[in-house]
Amino acid sequence: MDKSKKYNAVIFDLDGTLLDTLEDLTDAVNHTMRKFRCPEHTLEEVRSFVGNGIKVLIERCLKDGIDTPGFNAIFNEFKQYYTANCRIKTRPYTGIPELLEKLYSSGCKLSIVSNKNQAAVTELNNIYFSQYISIAIGNSENIRQKPAPDTTLKAMEDMGCNKETCVYIGDSEVDIETAKNSGLDCISVSWGFRDKDLLEKLNPGAVADSPEALLKYLV
């Protein structure tokens, strides 16, 4: 990626990019698994399951996936429990608040696009990032989720920016595919839910190892 290119708009993924949500997600998964007498999962297992939204997360947690008897009840229990308990252990990654402050102060337009359910995205953004980010788009019934480009295109429309001056930041293969489908430059971050080696094999524009390194690509 050409470091001389600068952007005036940034779209961030949420889980694994801005926020370390893994423990709260795992706790919600295992609460749900216990309630329905299904096997529980480790942090590393849940780490490997996330990225395609919470419905797919629960499918991956169950041996028979979506064909599990009572799947809808299991999924709804997880969704309700997680939304109510999504900020117990969740915290911004070190350096993220400072990164957002510098981008915001420089005049960059900032937004979040996530496959997490909209209620949780709204709550977490309001708690941690609302002083910098007013556009936070999650999963809802009326728009296709990532890696389809719909939510990123909506974010660009809401920010009033174009593809040439906007960049997408995320931590997973889903994010790289989303950026490609949206016609956006992509920078992956290695502090999230996927290993750096995997990310580099998927050829994003760049891989940043810290928020400080990421900032150098942006302003």
Q: Cα–Cα distance between 64 and 99 in angstroms, integer?
A: 42
Query: Residue 108 — pLDDT band, cuts 50, 70, 90?
Result: very high
Give 42-67 pLDDT, tens digit per residue.
999 999 999 888 999 999 999 999 99
Give the pLDDT confidence score for residue 212 in this predicted structure.
Answer: 98
Number of domains in the chain: 2
Statement to judge: residues 201 and 96 lie in one domain:
yes
**CB-count burial class (<10 Å; 0-12, 13-18, 19+) for 40:** middle
Same domain, 62 and 118: no
Asked whether residue 2 is assigned to any structural domain, the reply reads no
Structure confidence by residue, pLDDT tens digits, 62-104: 999 999 999 999 999 999 999 999 999 999 999 999 999 999 9
Residue 66 belongs to a domain with what CATH number? 1.10.150
- At residue 139, φ and ψ (nearest 5 deg) are -80, 130
Prediction pTM value: 0.93
| Residue that is last in its domain, among 35, 61, 84 | 84
Residue type for position 95: G
Residue 44 sits in the same domain as residue 146: no
Q: Which amino acid is at 166?
A: C
Domain with 104, as residue range(s), is 9-19+92-218
Is residue 38 included in any domain, yes or no? yes
Q: 150-159: per-residue pLDDT in tens?
A: 999 999 999 9
∠ CA 123-37-140, nearest 5°, is: 30
Could you read off the pLDDT of 153-211 as tens digits, one per residue?
999 999 999 999 999 999 999 999 999 999 999 999 999 999 999 999 999 999 999 99
Residues 74 and 178 in one domain: no
Same domain assignment for residues 55 and 150: no
- Tell me the three-class secondary structure of the chain, residue by residue: CCCCCCCCEEEECCECCCEECHHHHHHHHHHHHHHCCCCCCCHHHHHHHCCCCHHHHHHHHCCCHHHCCCHHHHHHHHHHHHHHCCCCCCEECCCHHHHHHHHHHCCCEEEEEEEEEHHHHHHHHHHHCCCCCCEEEEEECCECCCCCCHHHHHHHHHHCCCHHHEEEEECCHHHHHHHHHHCCEEEEECCCCCCHHHHHHCCCCEEECCHHHHHHHHC
pLDDT at residue 117 greater than cutoff 70 = yes
Q: Which amino acid is at 44?
A: E
- Same domain for 139 and 33: no
